Amino acid sequence: MVNRIIQMGEKSREVEMNMKKLQLDGKHLTADIMAIIHKLGDPEQQELIHGVLKALELENQVLKLRNAQLELAGNTETLKGNSCDFSSRVDFHCGDDGKKSIGGDSMDLNLKYSDSSSKKTDDDCETESLKSEISELCLLKQKLNSQISQLQMKVETYERDIECFEMMKSDWTVEKKMLEQHLSGLKEQLREKEEKLNLVTAQKGLMEVKKQSLVHVVKSEEHVMLQKRLEELSVQLTQIQEEKEQLQQGKICLSSEVEAMAKVIQDLESQLARAQEENTGLTKSLEVLDEQHQGAIDQLLKVKQSLLKQNKTLQSELETMKQISGFEKYRYTLRSESFEKIDAGTDCFSPACMCREVQTEPCNDIENSDEVYAKCRRNLEIEFQEKILKLITFEIPKDYFSVNSNSKDDIMPMGMVEALVRMCVECKWQRDTLERKVAELVKELQDTKHMYEDRNKAAHELDSECRILKGNIETLIEELMVSKNGGGEGLAPIPENNETEAMEQKIMMLENEIEVLREARLNLEVDAKGLREEVETLVKKLQTANAMLRNQENLETESNRWQEAATSAGGQLKEALAVKCSLEEEVEGLRGELQKLEAMNKDQVSSSEKILEELQEEIAELQERLLQQEELQNQKEALMNTVTYTQDQLELSNMDRSKLKDEVEELQKQIEGLKAMGNLQTE
């Protein structure tokens, strides 16, 4: 049993080593296949290789399950062996116990009754210990049986999984065979196409040999036509150069205008700085004047209130004095009290000497009292005027005084106050007007800055268009030189065969194929014309959109996108025509494109000039154009969809023609790699 256990351990180790090797091989295979997948680009090929990878992964899983099954079988065998050992040991212990009991009985018969009690107790202890060991062994046996049953259940589940994986593997093998059949069909199609191409090339060579006889006759006519076309192209080049010079002159004019606008902006900025300085000075002076005027007005109001109060008191006292008898006796007391009140109310205005002179003057009649009152009033007014003049450090113009004022009224302080109020009102009005003028100057400066930026943008666009025209002119010159150099080259002669009938039949076949090719060529030309018309319609719509949306930044960006889309569509059309048409048709396409570019340039120049002239008129129409933006955006989306559709069709046509041979070669390489991988797996 020990040897069996050792052998099972060695087998399990070998199985584990084999599993590790298989896992490493599977990892290497998956890494190589993933590298091949990354190199390849076909979705069909990638699907094929993914299917192969899945099959390999399933095979690895099946091998893992088989190894697990083998390990479980080894473990079950070891457990069975251990159970057999345990059962044999239990049987051995039971036999020994029986023999011991029989020997004990015989000895008990021969021994004396005195020793029987002690021996019975010893035998009972031994039997109890053996029973306990047997019960433990039975429990272990039950546990082993339960483990064996669980392992058997796992083995059954693993067998079911293996059957499912084998079914999946069979399905993958069937799919692999189908794919191989599909690849073989593709190879046959490729061979047939290659044979057809070889036949066509041979027939083309024969036709070229026949055409050589006609080429010499046609060469002179073609040479004359090429010369005429070269002359026409030279005339077009001169026209383009003249237009280029005109554009450069317009650019120079725009640059001069931009410089003039920059100078105007500088002048306006200097004027604005001066106006701001003047405004700050005026504001400061107005603040000082406001403070002075407010102080003077407050003082004048206080003086006015005090004078009004004194006037009221004096009038009331005069009325009472006229009514009361004994006026002469009471007069002196009233006068003294009134002068004391006047002195108390006008301590800050009247000097003490004047008040004492007025108080000490003798008065005998009412007329003398009136004269004294008038003198006091005049003295007070003179003092008020002096104090106002001390407060006001500047001269007040005579225009601010009232027109109907007399010479006496001019001396009154109230006239000075009214003049100051009028002067303050006029200063505030001038301040408001200056602030308005400053705001208007700021707006004008911002408008001039926007004009300057727009003109700079237009100048940059004209520079880019001039560069594009230069590149197109250079490409045209190079193509003309190539056409001149390649016009006189001839084809190598091919020796004729003696079999005339076969040649005639081949010639008929070639003529039929040439007619078919001509029809296909005409169809392609019709498609190209339709695409050109679509591009022209797109260009017209773009022109209308540009005409309607000139002075708006967002709409200008959209028009630029439209122009880029149109130019990209034109470039794709150029490529298709270059592949399908000859050198002469390429020159005609370039002419059409040059005319389009000239029209676009003229429209852009005219639009830029109109924009400069119609800036003020278009400001009022912005609100109406904002409502039209939604419709134009819908048109834009429809046009973009058409352009993308044409682009997709052109790309598909080019890709289908260019990638047939590449796909077949890649498929062959993949099949060879898969066969090599299958051989490695079988080994």
| pLDDT bracket for residue 256 (50, 70, 90) | confident
Task: Compute the average pLDDT of residues 256-275.
Answer: 70
Alpha-carbon distance of 396 to 400, in angstroms, equals 7
Q: Which range marks the domain in which residue 107 is found?
A: 2-192
Q: Residue 351: inside a domain, yes or no? A: no
Rounded-to-integer distance, Cα 45 and Cα 638, Å? 37
Distance in angstroms (rounded) separating the CA atoms of residues 232 and 224: 12
Domain assignment of residue 586, yes or no: yes
- What does the pLDDT read at residue 446? 72
How many domains does the chain divide into? Answer: 2
pLDDT tens per residue across span 424-480: 777 777 767 767 766 776 676 677 667 667 766 766 676 676 577 667 666 766 766
For the cut 70, the answer to whether the pLDDT of residue 180 exceeds it is: yes
Q: Is residue 94 part of a domain?
A: yes
Rg (CA), the chain: 60
- DSSP character at residue 348: T
Residue where one domain finishes, among candidates 173, 192, 211: 192
Q: Is residue 535 part of a domain?
A: yes
Cα separations (Å) of 10 from 23, 74, 295, 342?
20, 11, 119, 139
Q: Amino acid identity of 211?
A: K
Between CA 139 and CA 555 the distance in angstroms is 92
State residue 146's pLDDT score. Answer: 76
Note whether residue 6 is domain-resident. yes
* Per-residue pLDDT at 281: 73
Asked if residues 343 and 355 have their Cβ atoms less than 8 Å apart, the reply is yes
418: tokens are: 């009214």
Which tokens hold the place of 616? 């003020």
pLDDT of residue 106: 43
pLDDT reading at 351 higher than 70: no
The pLDDT score that the predictor gives to residue 496 is 43
User: Looking at the whole model, is its pTM more than 0.75?
Assistant: no
pLDDT band per the 50, 70, 90 thresholds, residue 11: low
Query: Measured on CA atoms in the order 666, 667, 670, 671, is the torsion positive or negative?
Result: negative
* CA pair distance 223, 366, nearest whole angstrom: 138
Which whole number is the average pLDDT over 545-550? 53
The last residue of one of the domains, among 192, 214, 241, is: 192
In a domain, 45, yes or no: yes
Q: What is the dihedral of CA 189, 190, 196, 202, to 10 degrees?
A: -160
User: 277, 457 in Cβ contact below 8 A?
Assistant: no
Domain boundary among 141, 161, 192: 192
Type of residue found at 619? I
pLDDT tens digits for range 54-103: 666 666 666 766 676 677 666 666 666 655 665 565 455 444 444 444 34
Four-CA torsion 579, 585, 589, 590, nearest 10 degrees = 100
CB under 8 Å to 372, separation ≥6 — which residues?
A: 358, 361, 363
List, for residues 80-90, the tens digit of each pLDDT value: 665 566 556 54
Compute the mean pLDDT over every residue in the chain, rounded to the nearest whole number.
64
pLDDT tens digits, 105-118: 444 444 444 454 45
Q: How far is CA 239 from CA 235, 299, 481, 569, in A?
A: 6, 87, 19, 26
The answer to the question of residue 639 being in a domain is: yes
Q: How confident is the model at residue 618 (pLDDT cuts 50, 70, 90)?
A: low
- Tell whether 106 is covered by a domain: yes
Residue 541 — very low, low, confident or very high, per pLDDT cuts 50/70/90? low
338, pLDDT greater than 50: no
Contact indicator for 479, 583 with CB cutoff of 8 Å? yes
Cβ density class 230-248: b for 16+ within 10 Å, e for less: eeebeebeeebeebbeebe
